[in-house]
Structure 1
Amino acid sequence: MDINDLMAEILRQSTHEGCFTLGELLHYSSVRSLTGIGVSKEKTHTFFLVLSGGEPDGAIFVDEKGTLFGDSAVLHLTGSEEFEFFLVAQPIVDALTARCRVFEKCHLKKNGSLDIPTIGAPTRQRVGVLCLTVRDGRAPLAGAHVSIRKGKLVITSDVTDSAGRVCFRLLNGRYMCVVSDRNGERTRCIVEFHEPQVETCVDIGGTEDENR
């Protein structure tokens, strides 16, 4: 059973509470300490927001490319979504949250705004695109597994294409990049970017090139 089928089965057995914008849902569930699941369905994707006691504790984003969980799913919110909200039993919500927990709740500011402030600074973090080209010496490394981490948390991951390239949509900032080649060997390096789009190279046989 895929994630859409699983969620559909859960919602079929749950009580429909109403339809809300993102901001309305966050406010409504918070003031009533509600536990449940909000679902927003578009032609190309589906978004699930898991709330526990009024707090947005989990998120799932599903499209034709696959499924994203937690913080990486939240980055795909635009703030203009319409959600159907269902009241769901606490044990089910707890089980789901364990798989899709949102750690950086600043991603979900009140009123559904996704402009994320940087504490102690006048500027705001922005969502950008980080593209990595993984090489083994001069040769691009296809099929390498690349994960982007903050501390011990895996924010997102993907596999390089035939050109050794992979791209991630992330908040500008500093991340740990972990590369696994086909032999399971790993290379770790720090990646930092503060522009709308950054291209950089990672050489698993050496050190990371400078951002270009």
Structure 2
Amino acid sequence: MDLQELLENIHKGSKCQGTFSLPELLTFAASRHLDAIAVAKEGNRECYLAILNGEPEGAIYVDSDGALFGDKAVVHIRAGRNYVIRDVKPEIIDAFVMGCRIFEKGHIRKNGTYTVPEIGEKSPGIGVVTLSVRREKNLQNGVRVSIRKDGKIVGSDSTTGNGEVSFRVMHGNYSCLVQDRFQNVTHFQITFDESHTSHILDL
């Protein structure tokens, strides 16, 4: 199944909340703290917007030339289109957003208007942080790790065979929640910047 089929199936299998212009969509989603995916279609062009707890968190744009993700896709999230919005489970939104996160949200919502960023513009302070989970110096495989910023989950995944998990995030301070196989949760605080791209989390 290709990306377009996957997105279409997610959208079709969900409860419709209505059709809105972009400003109406953002206001509606925020007022109800929706977890949803909105889609606008024009010919062979499709725009997908992922909403988590009422906030736009991810975007995908698909046409005959391929797909654009995150901030690059935001160029095509236009106020003039009608978006159909459907409820989707938060865990599906989390998985969806991991590959298409919007870092520059001001491009979507700024006084109810839309601002187009320069194509190819690089957002400062974005990179990949790698977390290694250990218990008594033994690397832990299959442990669930969530990373949060200002109380919002910005990434969630399980460690691989080498006990590592990675997230693409902006530089800053984050809280990490590690849930082991016994459902015990341990909290950590980390700082991610050019000097701190990896951390060891000892349970």
Identity %, equivalent residues: 38
Following TM superposition, by how much is the alpha carbon of 1:150 offset from its aligned partner in structure 2, in angstroms? Answer: 3.7
Following TM superposition, by how much is the alpha carbon of 1:79 offset from its aligned partner in structure 2, in angstroms? Answer: 1.4
Opposite residue 12 of structure 1, the aligned amino acid is K
Structure 1, unaligned runs of 5 or more? 116-125, 131-146, 155-212
Query: How does 1:65-144 map onto structure 2 within 5 Å?
Result: 65-110=65-110, 112-115=112-115, 127-128=117-118
Would you say 1:41 and 2:41 are equivalent positions?
yes
Following TM superposition, by how much is the alpha carbon of 1:12 offset from its aligned partner in structure 2, in angstroms? Answer: 2.2
Q: Which residue of the partner structure matches residue 25 of structure 2? A: 25
* Distance across 1 between alignment mates of 2:42 and 2:112: 18
Classify the secondary structure of the residue corresponding to 1:48: strand
Classify the secondary structure of the residue corresponding to 2:39: strand
Structure with larger Rg: 1
> Is the Cα–Cα contact under 8 Å of residues 22 and 81 in structure 1 kept in the other structure?
yes
* Distance across 2 between alignment mates of 1:107 and 1:129: 12
* Structure 1 runs (4+) greater than 3 angstroms displaced: 126-130, 147-154
Q: Which residue of the partner structure matches residue 13 of structure 2? A: 13
* Distance across 2 between alignment mates of 1:38 and 1:108: 14
Question: Are the structure 2 counterparts of residues 63 and 129 from structure 1 closer, same or farther at C-alpha, using a change threshold of 3 Å?
Answer: same
Opposite residue 82 of structure 1, the aligned amino acid is N
Could you report, residue by residue, the CA deviation over 1:25-53 in whole angstroms, capped at 9, with x for unpaired residues? 00000011001100000014100000000
Classify the secondary structure of the residue corresponding to 1:31: helix
* Distance across 2 between alignment mates of 1:150 and 1:110: 19
Root-mean-square deviation (CA, aligned residues, Å) is 2.2
Could you report, residue by residue, the CA deviation over 1:83-130 in whole angstroms, capped at 9, with x for unpaired residues? 000000111011001111101110112564113xxxxxxxxxx64467
Count of residues paired in the alignment: 128
Following TM superposition, by how much is the alpha carbon of 1:7 offset from its aligned partner in structure 2, in angstroms? Answer: 0.9
Structure 2, unaligned runs of 5 or more? 129-203
> Is the Cα–Cα contact under 8 Å of residues 27 and 111 in structure 1 kept in the other structure?
no
Question: Are the structure 2 counterparts of residues 129 and 89 from structure 1 closer, same or farther at C-alpha, using a change threshold of 3 Å?
Answer: closer
